[in-house]
């Protein structure tokens, strides 16, 4: 009887200690701002593009199915995005970047965008992304703020870009 209990205990410890044998570990992905692009003179394309990095810390792939967020520059509301995106695969223990067009609010005039398109400006992004995971749909809230420099020429592909860098 005791021997059966010990065997059962050791077997259960092995199952719990090893992810493939039964214990599924999950950590929510992280969403951060990769860059923001402003083009007040855009013709036929949205004047604001926000690129988000979707980082998956898990040892299995996920997919992002929707994102919604608001963007502020220098404490001024620029716009909101509130629709589903095409499914974006996020590799296991990896990062995917998705560029999302943002229609400016009615109060965000081309003149305001032009004024914000050069120099350093404070940004704030707040929102929520939905991910399809093996354990079901997960909603992940995110918020980030910082300083971005607009209007600089692009760096060469080999040059490092600091957090919140903008092209």
The predicted model gives 46-56 an average pLDDT of 94
Task: Give the CATH number of the domain where residue 90 resides.
Answer: 2.60.40.1820
Number of domains in the chain: 1
pLDDT of residue 25: 86
**Proportion of the chain above pLDDT 90, given as a percent:** 59
pLDDT classification of 98: cutoffs 50, 70, 90: very high
Q: Is residue 9 part of a domain?
A: no
Predicted confidence at residue 103, as pLDDT, reads 84
The predicted pLDDT at position 53 comes to 97
Whether the Cβ atoms of residue 50 and residue 71 lie closer than 8 Å to each other: yes
Question: Quick one: CA dihedral 77, 82, 88, 94, positive or negative?
Answer: positive
**Average confidence (pLDDT) over 125-140:** 94
Among the listed ranges 7-16, 43-52, 158-167, which one has the minimum average pLDDT value?
Answer: 158-167
The residue-averaged pLDDT of 67-79 equals 95
Whether 49 maps to a domain, the answer reads yes
State residue 149's pLDDT score: 92
Which domain, by its residues, includes 128? 26-150
The string of DSSP codes covering 114-149 is HHHTSEEEEEEEEEEEEEEETTEEEEEEEEEEEEEE
Q: Is residue 158 part of a domain?
A: no
83 has pLDDT over 80: no
More confident position, 120 or 4: 120
Give the CA distances from residue 162 to residues 45, 113, 149, in Å, rounded to whole numbers and listed in that order.
Answer: 27, 23, 11
């Amino acid at each position: 009887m005791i021997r059966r209990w010990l065997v059962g205990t050791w077997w259960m410890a092995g199952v719990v200690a090893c992810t493939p044998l039964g214990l599924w570990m999950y950590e929510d992905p992280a969403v951060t701002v990769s860059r923001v692009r402003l083009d007040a003179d855009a013709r036929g394309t949205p004047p604001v593009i926000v690129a988000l990095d979707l980082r998956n810390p898990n040892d299995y792939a996920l997919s992002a199915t929707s994102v919604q967020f608001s963007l502020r520059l220098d404490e001024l509301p620029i716009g909101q995005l509130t629709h589903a995106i095409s499914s974006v695969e996020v590799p296991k223990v990896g990062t995917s970047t998705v560029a999302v067009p943002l229609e400016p609010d009615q109060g965000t005039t081309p003149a305001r965008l032009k004024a914000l398109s050069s120099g350093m400006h404070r940004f704030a992004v707040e929102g929520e992304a939905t991910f399809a995971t093996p354990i079901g749909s997960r909603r992940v809230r995110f918020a980030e703020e910082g300083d971005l420099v607009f209007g600089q020429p692009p760096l060469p592909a080999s040059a490092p870009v600091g957090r919140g860098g903008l092209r």
